[in-house]
Each structure stands twice: as C-alpha cells, then as structure tokens.
Amino acid sequence: MVRLLDIGLERLKNMLIDMGTFSEKTVTTAIDAYTQGKNLVNEVYTASERLRMLEEEVSELAIELLARYQPVASDLRFIKSCLEIAYGFTRFGRYAYDIMQVRSVFGDLSKCDTKPIEEAGKHAKEMIQLSIKAFIERDITMSKKLKEMDSIIDNLYLQYVKNAAEKRDQDIRCTIAATLILRYLERISDHATYIADSVAYIKSGTKASRRAIG
C-alpha cells in the first residue's frame, strides 16, 4: 500500500532532480559564455532567480510534509537533506550569475587566457552532474570521488593565485577576473561535495564535518 507520504517524497525528489538539471545548465551557460566572450548576464540572472524560486517551492513542500505526516528515521533525513540540497543548487545559480557579473564589470576579456577557467569549469560541471547522480541513485560512493575532484579545483585555484603573484607582466584585468571566477568555481565544487555528503546522511544518518561557506 502506497503511503500518502511516499507520494509527497517522490514529488520532492522529482523537484530536486529538475532543479539540479536546471542548475547544471545555468552553470554551463555561464562558463561557456565567459570563455566564448559572450555577455549573457541577464539570461543567467533570470535563471538564478528561477532557481531561488524553485528552492522556495521545495521548502514549502518539505514543511508541509513535516507538518502533515511527522516523518521519522530515513524519511525525516531525506526531507532535511532535500532542503540542504536545494540550497546547494540555488548557490550554483548564484555563482553562475557572479561569473557573468565579472564579464559585465570587466568588459571585453577576449584577449585573456581562458585555459585555467576551462579546465576548472570542466571539473565543476562534472561535479554537478555527479552530485545530481548521487542524489538520484542515493549512491554514497560518489562522495569520495567528489572530494577528490574538489581537491583538484582547490589546487587549480591556489596554483593560479600563486603564479599570478610571481608574474609581473600579466594584464591585471585578466588576472583579477580569472581569480574571481576560479574562486566561484571552487565554491561550486564545495557545494557539489556537500550535496553528496547529504546523500550519505540520508543513507546512514551520519553527517560529515563541513566548513561553513556561502
């Protein structure tokens, strides 16, 4: 016999999957727009706002399920984790908009070297895809892989900053723009990792230790 709660949980799951897919598309749009020299700030802002509204819808449904059915154990963990995961997807959208803001503020950056952004962006997009897959399949093994990929993006960001500090002949606009974008991609990778941690919490009830991020 299907519980009414199960119907609600399935709806919540599908909302998160749709949200995750849209957040991935938004981040991809921002990265590709930057590397291709396109100004899509308005489009990405609209997408970011849509993700924010979707998060509110997830929150409303989660609260309704909590109030109406008073779930316990794995059902309760699932609902709590959905709230955290929805927040992560919203942050993806926000950082995508921040990337476009860099393009908007600095103007034409077509002469800048985009290879560091392309490399980190490739890893970040893959991490978003894996975090969505981990949620859909409730696969806790992906958490380890995402942490390894997170370290790669961390190192790319830190290495770029180190190299920039040692070179005096770089275009300061290019350096600042790339540093900001790499930082946003590093934050995206953090949230992808935390989504996988939330999946582990759904399965085991144990939360990984996390450093606070926005």
pLDDT in tens, 24-33: 999 999 999 9
CA torsion 168-171-176-178 (nearest 10°) is -110
| pLDDT in the model for residue 168 | 67
Answer yes or no: is 68 within a domain: yes
Task: Go through 67-93 and write b for each residue having 16 or more CB atoms within 10 A of its CB, e for each that does not.
Answer: eebebeeebbbbbbbbbbbbbbbbbbb
8-state DSSP, 168: S
**Tens of pLDDT along 66-98?**
999 999 999 999 999 999 999 999 999 999 999
Answer yes or no: is 213 within a domain: no
Answer yes or no: is 209 within a domain: no
Q: Tokens in use for 17?
A: 């999957």
Provide the residue count of the chain.
Answer: 214
Identity of residue 118: E
* Alpha carbon 191 to chain centroid, angstroms: 5
Query: Mean of the pLDDT values across residues 113-131?
Result: 95
| pLDDT in the model for residue 128 | 96
Give the global pTM: 0.92
| pLDDT in the model for residue 2 | 63
Contact at 8 Å (CB) between 87 and 30?
no
Number of folded domains that form the chain? 1
**Tens of pLDDT along 34-59?**
999 899 999 999 999 999 999 999 99
Computed over every residue of the chain, the mean pLDDT equals 91
CATH code of the domain covering residue 195: 1.20.58.220
Answer yes or no: is 137 within a domain: yes
Residue 185 lies in domain: 4-204
Answer yes or no: is 214 within a domain: no
Answer yes or no: is 134 within a domain: yes
| pLDDT in the model for residue 107 | 84
205: pLDDT strictly greater than 90: no
211: pLDDT strictly greater than 50: no
